[in-house]
Amino acid sequence: MNNLVIKNLHVSVDGKEILRGINLTINEGDNVALLGPNGHGKSTLLMAIMGHPKYVITCGTIAFNKKDVKKMSVDERSKLGLFLGLQNPSEVPGVNNSDFLKNILNVRREKPMSLFTFYKELEGAYQKMGIPFEMANRNLNEGFSGGEKKRNEILQMLLLNPKIAMLDEIDSGLDVDAINVVAKIINQQHQKGTALMVISHYARLFDLIHPNRAVIMVNGKIVLDGKADLIKRIDKEGYEWIKQELGIDINKIEHNQVSIGACATKVALKEQNK
Amino acid sequence: MKIIVKANEQKEIFIDNNASLDFVLENNASLLLKYAIFNNIKNITINGKLKKNAVLKAAMADFSNGKAKVNASIELDDIGANANWDLASLATGSDQKQFDISFIHNHQRTIANMNNYGVALNSSRLVFSGINYIKKKAKKSQTNQNAKIIVFDQNASGKANPILKIDENDVLASHAAIVGRLNDEHLFYLKSRGLNEKEAKALIVNGYLKPIANHFESKTKLRIEKMIQEKCHV
């Protein structure tokens, strides 16, 4: 049984504390919707699990199958079976997409794949994603549209077959048809045994991938961990009711902050620069 | 060295030192020019003239050490002249290398295509410059400049500033010049897919420098690949 156990996790970015004691367990078969207002630490949690050097764990533990994830390098975490589909995937100059994909598959194998096997697998994955195979010959994310980048993330998930897939706003930038395709792939991945942790601001994606749990983060903490019907409620009513029912003050991020694209890290950096 | 490729003839030249070169391609002549520089570099000057329907395919693999300037100036003198230039350069240590590659379209319907790729490590400096000049009356000409440098280390620097100069309206010209610094976000992204630092670096370095090897025969090709491994520690 795969499981990810996070205990009392505190994470700081550039000296500002973003996560203030996260306790969360993700079990095999879980399909978790990670919800919360903008700027309250959802992306930070995923980045910290994956090990981005900017996200410093000041306290607490992360264990995957009882192994101490904190002690591992980023690539070791990936090989262990953690996958993070990024909100803003990097454009890496000069790296050919298919070279990249071949490399990330081969570093997990004792013997490198034959070129033939690789191309067969790659072609299949592109077909499933409904994107032209020619895209494999472009540079990694360079000049890709927002939607193409997101699909390239899902394509990597498909090829790497992780134990836990953390998907950060994977639906933003996708048109309706693309969301349907991506949701289908996510569902197939889940059926293959991959646990999911999915951040999205739109109920549409969750309607398609049917999470079994919804976890709500406010002020860098998890305030609710319950059934999936929480998603519907938040979609209808927003987050205000949490304040009334749970007596939690939702720290407002600055008034002039546009809600799209705001994240706790950006807010922290902004405050620091004041 | 001076070379004249006569009308309708084809020639292939392989140079593995710092030799300068003057060449003329007569009508319908073609030249396959291959430079591979592995040791200490000195200033190199290349001057070429292409006549009617002459074709130049040039590839330069530079894995040398030192301070030098490589100057290439190719003139497209008559209709149908077509020049293609590929360069890959690796600068390491305290190398200071500048590649000034220019194409002059003196006549209508001439084509020039330039691809310069470079990697700068340690405290080296790498510069790609040059002017693609489409002169008045050289209409329906096509010119393309593509210069990309990736800089790895804090003290290394790169500059890519090829210039387009166009005095005629009816032409096709494109221009891309990028100097990228490998940053933490790139590395994190590659690592998050299971590549360690060395593997991530190798992927990038090979992406820039390895394609040039395909222009050369197997012995030089292997030497280029070995050079990439040794000098970039990948």
This model of the complex carries an ipTM of 0.89
pLDDT reported for residue A257: 41
Residues 49-78 of A with CB under 8 A from B: 50-54, 73-75, 77-78
pLDDT at residue B84 above 90? yes
The rounded distance, in Å, linking the Cα atoms of B129 and B138 is: 22
Tokens 């003290």 sit on residue: B155
pLDDT reported for residue A121: 93
The rounded distance, in Å, linking the Cα atoms of B105 and B114 is: 13
A104 touches chain B (CB under 8 A): yes
Residue B176's H or E segment, with its range, is strand B172-181
Q: How far away is chain A from the Cα of B24, in angstroms, using its nearest Cα? A: 34
**Max alpha carbon distance in chain B (Å)?**
56
Average the pLDDT over B13-20 and give the result. 94
Please report, to the nearest 10 degrees, the dihedral formed by the alpha carbons of residues B179, B183, B189, B192 taken in order.
Answer: 140
Q: How far away is chain A from the Cα of B66, in angstroms, using its nearest Cα? A: 25
pLDDT at residue A264 above 90? no
A100 touches chain B (CB under 8 A): yes
pLDDT reported for residue A149: 92
pLDDT reported for residue A266: 62
Instruction: Judge residue B124's burial from the number of C-beta atoms within 10 Å of its C-beta, 0-12 exposed, 13-18 middle, 19 or more buried.
Output: buried
Query: Judging by DSSP bridges, how do beta strands A3-13 and A55-64 pair with one another?
Result: antiparallel
pLDDT at residue A265 above 90? no
- For chain A, what percent of residues have pLDDT higher than 90? 72
Give A90's contacts in chain B (Cβ within 8 Å): 185-186, 188-189
Torsion angles phi and psi, residue B7, rounded to 5 = -50, 135
Give B196's contacts in chain A (Cβ within 8 Å): 73, 75, 107
Closest chain B CA to residue A89: B189
Residues A9, A61 contacting (CB under 8 angstroms): yes
Residues A144, A178 contacting (CB under 8 angstroms): no
The rounded distance, in Å, linking the Cα atoms of A272 and A238 is: 29
Looking at residue A40, the DSSP 8-state letter turns out to be S
A99 touches chain B (CB under 8 A): yes
pLDDT at residue A274 above 60? no
Kindly determine whether residue A95 and residue B203, on different chains, have CB atoms separated by under 8 Å.
Answer: yes
pLDDT reported for residue A118: 95
Which one of B193, B204, B206, B214 makes the best mutation probe of the A interface by having the most chain A beta carbons within 10 Å? B193
Q: Mean pLDDT over all residues of chain B?
A: 95
Kindly determine whether residue B195 and residue A75, on different chains, have CB atoms separated by under 8 Å.
Answer: yes
Give B201's contacts in chain A (Cβ within 8 Å): none
Structure tokens at A91: 């454009």
Closest to A95 measured CA to CA, from B33, B231, B37, B186: B186
Residues A239, A223 contacting (CB under 8 angstroms): no
Kindly determine whether residue A52 and residue B150, on different chains, have CB atoms separated by under 8 Å.
Answer: no
pLDDT reported for residue B166: 96
Kindly determine whether residue B204 and residue A94, on different chains, have CB atoms separated by under 8 Å.
Answer: yes
A156 touches chain B (CB under 8 A): yes
pLDDT reported for residue A247: 82
Residues B56, B50 contacting (CB under 8 angstroms): yes
Closest chain A CA to residue B185: A90
Q: How far away is chain A from the Cα of B55, in angstroms, using its nearest Cα? A: 27
A102 touches chain B (CB under 8 A): no
Instruction: Name the residue type at position B186.
Output: H
pLDDT reported for residue A243: 83
Structure tokens at A273: 């620069």
Which pTM value belongs to this model?
0.80
Selected residue with higher pLDDT from A202 and A43 = A43
Average the pLDDT over B192-209 and give the result. 92
Give me the helices (H) in chain A, please: 42-50, 74-80, 97-106, 115-129, 146-160, 176-191, 203-209, 229-237, 240-246, 264-273
Q: Which residues pair with A196 in a beta bridge?
A: A31, A165
Closest to B158 measured CA to CA, from B182, B129, B125: B125
pLDDT reported for residue B65: 96
pLDDT reported for residue A96: 87
CB-nearest to B207 from A50, A51, A95 is A95
The rounded distance, in Å, linking the Cα atoms of A40 and A72 is: 26
Structure tokens at B214: 């395909």
Give A144's contacts in chain B (Cβ within 8 Å): none
Q: How far away is chain A from the Cα of B208, in angstroms, using its nearest Cα? A: 6
